[in-house]
Amino acid sequence: MRVHIPIFDGFDELDAVGPYEVFRTAAQVGADCHVSLVTLTDREVVTAAKGLSVVPDGVLPSPDVGDTPDLLVVPGGGWNDGDGDGDGDGDVRREVEAGDLPAAIRAHREAGTEVASVCTGAMLLERAGVLEGRPAVTHRGATDDLRAAGVEVRDNRVVDAGAVVTAGGITSGIDLALHLLDRGFGGNIAGTVAEELAHDRSDDVAVVG
């Protein structure tokens, strides 16, 4: 499983680093799993919401090349009461309005890549058009906006709608990643990773597709 996590200025640290650590740990315990933090364009450093400086692993490839990901995990990073200036407030809104990241998400989904989101990353999935006809969940601060966009919003920690999986609040990205490990590699790998991370898994996962 090749997993790419696209990051941008103002992304929430745990939205990306939580799943990243889950997938990296899976590789360490024997799963054929490779995870990378990527950007849309070549960047030396990306500054996250709380000020963490992150050196990305590379650039998200075009969906028509050989090393495209099997899975995209899209983090959130602010939605309400922000101006999208990279200070951690409203930066998903900035990415939604710019449109480049949603376009990339849509292109990869159309090429067969599975897509997941953490927290307000669901708003990027909605803008990409990949939530159409699928239930989803997001951070409670964006629930009304996601529902207003015509998405059936569920009150679960993780919503598995087949090729598109969404998770609610910030720490739910860990449960999302563990669920995807369970789905892709089986319960032994997922259970071993959860034990390694000393994480009590949530069973609040709705499988609807």
What's the pLDDT tens digit per position in 168-183? 989 999 999 999 999 9
What are the structural domains of the chain? Answer: 2-207 (3.40.50.880)
HSE value, Cβ hemisphere, 13 Å, CA-based, for 192:
14
Q: Is the pTM of this model over 0.85?
A: yes
In whole angstroms, what is the distance from residue 60 CA to residue 73 CA?
Answer: 12
Question: Which element (helix H / strand E) includes 189?
Answer: helix 187-196
140-171 confidence digits (pLDDT tens): 999 999 999 999 999 999 999 999 999 998 99
Look at strands 53-54 and 58-59 and give their pairing. unpaired
Six token digits for residue 43 = 């960047």
